[in-house]
Each structure stands twice: as structure tokens, then as C-alpha cells.
Amino acid sequence: MNKYQRYLQTEKGKITNRKTSAKYDSTPEGKENKRLRQAKWAASPNGVATNRARAAINKINRLRRTLKLTKEEKDEIKEFYKNTPLGMEVDHDLPLQGKNVSGLHVIGNLQYLSSLHNKKKSNNELQRS
């Protein structure tokens, strides 16, 4: 192991390496290189297995948050999305994956928020005054 490899194993070396990588990844050449590395990893056996596991976990979590909705309830939710006012986004009042509480994907948990407010709210409950 050479001197540089030993340096990269130290805490200072790890921080320096992260900063340098972040700078490179923000350049057009770096972005393309990163995209190619990620695509190559995703096609590898380890990448395929990881992505399948993530998809299965996401599906389980989504099913836990979704009630058995009637056709009318599903249509009502679709209508809610279709009628989204210009400049607004559909948001879940109680987030589907909140830290303290998780809401459901039902009409009573949907609301319209401006893009700015929705991004501020992120994955938290909207503070009521």
C-alpha cells in the first residue's frame, strides 16, 4: 500500500477525497462518467439484486399506506389530481413516510399547496397556527 492509499484511509483523506469527487461530479464530464458508472452498477448482479430488494420494500411500504379503496374513492382521488390548480401541487397533509406519523393515500389526506410551500413542508406535517 503506497503513501497516498494510506492517506485516503485517514479521516482527513476521506474528507478530501469526498470534496474532490463532488467537484468532479458537478462538471459535465463528471456527470456523464457518474451516469455511466451508475448504469454499469445497476446492470451488475449486485445492482440488480439491490434494486429488486428496494422495489420490494417500497411496494410493501406503499401497500401498508394504502387502504382497499372502492372504485368511487379511486375516481375521487383521480379527479382531485386532475383538478389541481395552476401553480399548485397535490400534497399529503400527513406525509406517507413521516418520522413520527404516517398518513394514508386517501382523499381526506390530500391538499393543494403551492410548489414553494410543498418544498418547504417536505416530508413533515404542515404546522397549523
- Could you read off the pLDDT of 45-101 as tens digits, one per residue? 999 999 999 999 888 877 777 778 899 998 999 999 999 999 899 998 888 777 777
Based on the fold, state whether residues 84 and 108 are members of the same structural domain: yes
Domain count, the chain: 2
Smallest CA-to-CA distance from 96 within 128, 115, 121, 129 is with 121
- Whether the pLDDT of residue 126 is over 70: the answer is no
pTM over 0.95: no
Mean pLDDT of 115-122: 82
**Burial (0-12, 13-18, 19+ Cβ within 10 Å), 127:** exposed
In-domain check, residue 57: yes
Based on the fold, state whether residues 14 and 50 are members of the same structural domain: yes
Based on the fold, state whether residues 60 and 82 are members of the same structural domain: no
Cβ partners under 8 Å of residue 34, min gap 6: 25
**Domain range enclosing 29:** 3-64
What pLDDT does residue 44 have? 94
In-domain check, residue 42: yes
In-domain check, residue 128: no
Based on the fold, state whether residues 55 and 95 are members of the same structural domain: no
Based on the fold, state whether residues 58 and 76 are members of the same structural domain: no
